[in-house]
């Protein structure tokens, strides 16, 4: 036996053993079988850029801007107003306890109409709470492409008042819908207690990523805080 043969045999054995130790003999069990969109999201989260030719970036309608400044972007200004965006389609919780009239003409905050919401607190679906999302497109729970790129907006403002005063709104909210096409932000205020006079409420959006907002606005109201129900009004809901 030569030196060379001894070395070769020993080195070969050791190399084979080391390779076997490192590689193991099984398949990679953490490999996931997911739809393309989810695979891209995982890659992005891990810091692996998606190929340029297929970035997975959705085309999102960009909110209007003028001279580089964000221009007021209405969710609701008046009934049928051409600048309204989003649809009050996302009914949640005890949806049977809620009625909405978006053409209420008595004492609007501005222009001709306001939104009137009547919540009966009857717990018809057994939830003890209810709410409505203004969505784009209608009924988009994150399963549809849509929404707006509202980058540049600093806040959402709205005006609200109660019928009797003392109505408690658990939450006014922007974004927060999670799904295949999730909102890029979620911000809220609440609980707030309404008075009988119109008052402006503001949701701060300065630190939020507003590149995709499908849930433009929502409110939540609960039976615990409003055991006898509540009637309240909303007007001039807008990103600014």
Partner 1 sequence: MFGYNEKMDPRLKAVIVACALIFFAALACHMTGGTAYIRNIIDAPPKGPVRVIESPDGWRLTVGGRPYFVKGVCYQLVEIGKDKEYDFFADKARPWLTDGALMKKMGVNTVRFYRAGRDAGQTRAVIRDMYEKFGIKTAMGNYLGFWDWPFANYADPALRERIKIEIAEMVKAYKDEPGILFWILGNENNYSFDLGFRAWSTPDTENLPPLEARKERARIYYSFINDLAKMVKEMDPNHPVVMGNGELASIDVAKQYAPDVDILGGIIYQGKTFGTYFERLKRNYGKPNCFIEFGSDRYDSVWQQEAEDWQAFFLKLQWLEIVKNRAGGTGAGNSLGGFVFEWQDEWWKHNPDSESSWRIHDTGASWSNTAYYFDVKAGDNMSEEWWGVVGLDPKNSSGGLEKRVPKKAYYVLKELWTGKK
Interface residues with partner 1 (CB under 8 A)? 1-3, 6-7, 10-11, 13-14, 17-18, 20-21, 28-30, 32-34, 38, 41-42, 45-46, 128-129, 141-143, 166, 168, 176-180, 182, 185-187, 191, 193, 207-208, 222-227
**Least separation, in Å, of the C-beta of 103 and partner 1?**
29
For residue 168, the minimal CB distance to partner 1 (Å) is 5
Q: How far is the CB of 227 from partner 1 (least distance, A)?
A: 7
28 vs 66, beta carbon nearer partner 1: 28
Q: Which is nearer to partner 1, 113 or 223 (CB)?
A: 223
Q: How far is the CB of 124 from partner 1 (least distance, A)?
A: 16
Q: Closer CB to partner 1, residue 108 or residue 215?
A: 215
Residues 170 and 132: their CA atoms lie apart, in Å, by 12
DSSP states of the chain: --HHHHHHHHHHHHHHHHHHHHH-SS--TT-----HHHHHHHHHHTT-PPPGGG--PPP-EEPPEETTEEPPEEEESSTT-TT--SEEEEEEESGGGEEEEEEE-SS-SSSS-EEEEEE----TTS-SEEEEEEESSTT-SSSSS--EE-TT--EEEEEEEESSS--EESEEEEE---STT--S-EEEE--EE--SS-EEEEEE-TTS--S-BSEEEEEEEETTT-TT-EEEEEEEEEE-
- Taking the least distance from each CB to partner 1, the nearer of 29 and 66 is 29
Q: What are φ and ψ of residue 14, in 5° steps?
A: -65, -45
Closest approach of partner 1 to the CB of residue 113, in Å: 29
Compute the least distance from the CB of residue 15 to partner 1, in Å.
10
Which is nearer to partner 1, 3 or 82 (by Cβ)? Answer: 3
Q: Which is nearer to partner 1, 58 or 105 (CB)?
A: 58
State the first-to-last Cα distance of the chain, in angstroms, to the nearest integer.
86
């Amino acid at each position: 036996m030569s030196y060379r043969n001894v070395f070769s045999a020993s080195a070969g054995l050791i190399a084979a053993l080391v390779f076997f130790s490192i590689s193991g003999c099984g398949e990679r069990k953490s490999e996931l079988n997911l739809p393309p969109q989810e695979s891209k999201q995982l890659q992005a989260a891990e810091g692996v850029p998606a190929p340029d030719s297929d970035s997975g970036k959705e085309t999102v309608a960009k909110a209007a801007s003028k001279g580089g400044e964000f221009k007021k972007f209405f969710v609701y200004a008046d009934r049928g107003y051409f600048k309204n965006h989003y649809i009050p389609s996302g009914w949640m919780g005890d949806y049977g306890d809620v009625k909405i009239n978006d053409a209420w003409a008595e004492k609007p905050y501005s222009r001709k109409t306001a939104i009137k919401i009547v919540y009966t607190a009857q717990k018809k679906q057994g939830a003890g709470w209810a709410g409505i999302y203004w969505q784009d497109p209608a009924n988009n729970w994150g399963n549809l492409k849509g929404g707006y790129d509202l980058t540049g907006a600093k806040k959402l403002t709205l005006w609200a008042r109660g019928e009797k005063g003392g109505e408690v709104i658990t939450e006014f909210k922007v974004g927060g819908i999670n799904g295949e096409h999730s909102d890029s932000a979620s911000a809220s205020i609440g609980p707030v207690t309404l008075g009988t006079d119109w008052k402006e409420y503001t949701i701060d959006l300065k630190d939020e990523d507003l590149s995709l907002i499908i849930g433009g606005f929502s409110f939540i109201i609960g039976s615990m805080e409003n055991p006898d129900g509540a009637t309240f009004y909303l007007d001039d809901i807008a990103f600014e």
